[in-house]
Amino acid sequence: MSDNIAADQLRLLIERIERLEEEKKGIGDDIKDAYGEAKATGYDVKIMRQLIRLRKLPPRDRQEMEAILQTYLAALGME
């Protein structure tokens, strides 16, 4: 009997993961469409991706990263 319960639980988990994977694919397609729309409007998609990545960082981490970047740029004579 416990084998049936375990098998049912496993099946339910697998089906849930499959549904979530489908949703993830749909969201990925939506994101791709949004970037395509941005590109068609004239925006630089590479820069937009960087901005999105930076916006995810806590402000202090972002400021630290920017300070280090400026230091490296100055050291390489790129400023």
User: Above 90 in pLDDT, residue 79?
Assistant: no
Encode pLDDT of 2-60 as tens digits.
789 999 999 999 999 999 999 999 999 999 999 999 999 999 999 999 999 999 999 99
Name the pTM for this structure.
0.71
The domain limits of the chain are 1-43, 47-79
**Which pLDDT belongs to residue 17?**
98
Q: For the chain, what is the HEC assignment? A: CHHHHHHHHHHHHHHHHHHHHHHHHHHHHHHHHHHHHHHHHCCCHHHHHHHHHHHHCCHHHHHHHHHHHHHHHHHCCCC
Q: How far apart are CA 49 and CA 43, in angstroms?
A: 11
Tokens read off for 56: 């995810």
- Place 1 in a pLDDT band, splitting at 50, 70 and 90: low
